[in-house]
Amino acid sequence: MLPRCSFLLEKFFGDQTLHLPSRSNEAKTPLNSFRYIEILPVCPFIALPHNTEVSLWLSHDLESFQREIEGQNPVLWTAQVRPDRINLQEPLRQETFTMPTIKDVALKAGVSATTVSRVLNNRGYLSEALKQRVYTAMEELNYRPNELARSLSRSRSNIIGLIIPLISLPFFSELTSHIEEHAYLNGYKLLLCNSQQDKIKELEYIDMLRSSRVDGIIMGSHTLEVEAYRQMNLPLVTFDRQISPAIPYVCSDNYAGGQLATTLLIEKGCRKLAHIGGHPELNLLSHLRYEGFADTARRAGIWQTSLHTDNNSFDVLAYERLLEQLFREHPGIDGIFAGSDLIAAYALKACRESGRRVPADVRIVGYDGTALCSLSHPSITTIRQPVEEMGRLAVELILKQVEGASVSPANILPVKLQEGSTT
């Protein structure tokens, strides 16, 4: 037999309490005037006839049950109805739950359901005292508004979709963090999709985001044809790709970044330069980093070469193979401009493994300005993108489009040279 214990269910009975004696042989207490019992805020009300008796059997000690009943570690109990009593002995099956409704909140707060709706949607003038009364009722009933229904009624979901190619890459990880932060500060939540540069996944994510009625989409992954983006019929912002004059994009000044990196390498005495980055046929604005590199080296009369990945992916093994190829075909390379901080870190690793000293034999400059630069040894010189500002601006462009305002199609932010120990 399970042990009995005593507990005053004052929270659920208001002014009237039900006392369950812990030492009595009888665990039954006449309810007298009680007609309803609520075990937890999310449990259904159990109707009882007048003068019905109740037995409560508990499998926990008093302290455990008190924690559970207060909602810190909820354990729900089933009601097995018999002609003369209700036994509360087994975990309550979830399918029997009846969640509180807006009408329950209205009844508890002593207002109309329309007033509760106005409080939830912040419509019209309502006194702070009335709002607080509604909020208190919601808290006591553990009421949670149906966000989908609310979004349908106001034609907005306050959700922004974000599709990025690979969340594990340092730049996209930091960018995602800033986008989420600024979306939240503006009352929006972020729905994150990690496409891994897979065209099928990207299409599926776009369909999912549209079905979820997001207010706009920030695109960091671009595997689809331009027409697919035009047909979204949603506020859209892209990163590092100009899809059409009607779709705004955010990027750093890639060309200026390529110029800065190359100028520094030349000033440090490098005479055989290499650039390693993504495939030029991807038509990304980041390819301008290479153009800035090549033009600067050409004007200075410096020999230069370029190696790039051969597919639309972020394969770190491909970077290792490119660096092996670079040192095999051009052993005299003394300056490397990497298309990202991650590639720069792999260049540093390749130099170490091939016996090349950095920066004595080879100087390296990355691009992005992520935390990876300061964590590497030696610290990596890089072209720093304003990642936080890019995240803030992307959210701002979505919100302006949601409000029907016009936005600038080209949003190009300046970069800075952040010199570390690899140059």
Residue 329 lies in a domain: yes
| Whether residue 342 is found in the same domain as residue 380 | yes
What is the mean predicted confidence (pLDDT) over 330-358? 96
Residue 38 has pLDDT above 70, yes or no: no
Angle CA(170)–CA(175)–CA(179) in degrees, nearest 5? 155
- As given in the structure block, the two tokens for residue 330 are 């051009």
| Whether residue 246 is found in the same domain as residue 333 | no
| Whether residue 283 is found in the same domain as residue 247 | no
Q: Distance between CA 51 and CA 32 in Å, rounded?
A: 5
Least confident of 36-40, 154-158, 300-304, 363-367: 36-40
Report the pLDDT value the prediction gives residue 384, as an integer from 0 to 100. Answer: 98
Write down the residue that tokens 């309490």 correspond to.
17
pLDDT band at 56 (very low <50, low <70, confident <90, very high): very low
Residue 44 lies in a domain: yes
Q: How many residues does the chain have?
A: 423
| Whether residue 23 is found in the same domain as residue 83 | yes
Q: Of 251, 268, 293, which closes a domain?
A: 251
| Whether residue 380 is found in the same domain as residue 264 | yes
pLDDT band at 422 (very low <50, low <70, confident <90, very high): very high
| Whether residue 272 is found in the same domain as residue 307 | yes
Residue 81, strand partner residues = 86
Q: With the CA atoms of 32, 38, 44 and 50 taken in that order, what torsion angle do they form, in degrees rounded to the nearest 10? A: 0
Residue 421 lies in a domain: no
| Whether residue 239 is found in the same domain as residue 351 | no
- As given in the structure block, the two tokens for residue 420 are 């570390």
Q: Distance between CA 79 and CA 94 in Å, rounded?
A: 13
Q: Distance between CA 102 and CA 118 in Å, rounded?
A: 11
Residue 69 lies in a domain: yes
Which of 164 and 146 is assigned the larger pLDDT? 164
Task: Give the ranges where 33-144 is alpha helix by DSSP (H).
Answer: 62-69, 102-109, 113-121, 128-141
Range of the domain at 25: 10-96
- As given in the structure block, the two tokens for residue 36 are 């309803």
Burial of 77 (0-12, 13-18, 19+ CB in 10 A): buried
According to DSSP, residue 142 is labeled: T
Residue 212 lies in a domain: yes
Residue 405 has pLDDT above 80, yes or no: yes
* Ramachandran assignment for 269, one of left (phi > 0), alpha (psi -120 to 50 degrees), beta (any other): left
- State the pTM of this model: 0.66
DSSP states along 275-306: EEES-GGG--GGGHHHHHHHHHHHHTT-EEEE
| Whether residue 240 is found in the same domain as residue 300 | no
Q: Of 251, 276, 301, which closes a domain?
A: 251
R_g over Cα of the chain: 32
Q: Distance between CA 348 and CA 351 in Å, rounded?
A: 5
Which of 258 and 79 is assigned the larger pLDDT? 258
Report the pLDDT value the prediction gives residue 151, as an integer from 0 to 100. Answer: 53
| Whether residue 231 is found in the same domain as residue 287 | no
Residues 95, 83 contacting (CB under 8 angstroms)? no
Residue 364, strand partner residues = 336
Report the pLDDT value the prediction gives residue 2, as an integer from 0 to 100. Answer: 30
Q: Distance between CA 376 and CA 347 in Å, rounded?
A: 12
| Whether residue 343 is found in the same domain as residue 379 | yes
Within 10 Å of residue 103's Cβ, how many Cβ atoms? 11
Q: Distance between CA 191 and CA 214 in Å, rounded?
A: 8
Residue 240 has pLDDT above 70, yes or no: yes
Residue 351 has pLDDT above 90, yes or no: yes
Residue 400 lies in a domain: no
Domain count of the fold of the chain: 4
Residue 180 has pLDDT above 90, yes or no: yes
Residue 327 neighbours by CB under 8 Å, 6+ apart: 333, 350, 354, 356
Residue 59 has pLDDT above 60, yes or no: no
Across the chain, mean pLDDT equals 77
| Whether residue 138 is found in the same domain as residue 197 | no
Spatial strand order of the sheet with 416-418 comes to: 303-308, 272-277, 335-338, 363-368, 381-384, 416-418
- As given in the structure block, the two tokens for residue 193 are 């999709």
> CATH number, domain at 326?
3.40.50.2300
Residue 396 lies in a domain: no
Cα atoms in the 13 Å half-sphere on the side-chain side of 87 = 9
* Ramachandran assignment for 108, one of left (phi > 0), alpha (psi -120 to 50 degrees), beta (any other): alpha
Residue 237, strand partner residues = 218
The 3-state DSSP class for residue 61 equals coil
Residue 160 has pLDDT above 80, yes or no: yes
| Whether residue 351 is found in the same domain as residue 263 | yes
Q: Of 227, 251, 275, which closes a domain?
A: 251
Residue 173 lies in a domain: yes
Residue 160: which H helix or E strand, with range?
strand 159-164
Residue 24 neighbours by CB under 8 Å, 6+ apart: none
The sign of the torsion formed by the CA atoms of 283, 285, 290, 294 equals: positive
Within 10 Å of residue 413's Cβ, how many Cβ atoms? 14
Instruction: Please give the share of the chain, as a percent, with pLDDT higher than 70.
Output: 71
- As given in the structure block, the two tokens for residue 272 are 């055989």
Residue 17 neighbours by CB under 8 Å, 6+ apart: 8, 9, 10
Within 10 Å of residue 297's Cβ, how many Cβ atoms? 26
Burial of 33 (0-12, 13-18, 19+ CB in 10 A): exposed
> CATH number, domain at 125?
1.10.260.40
Residue 306, strand partner residues = 275
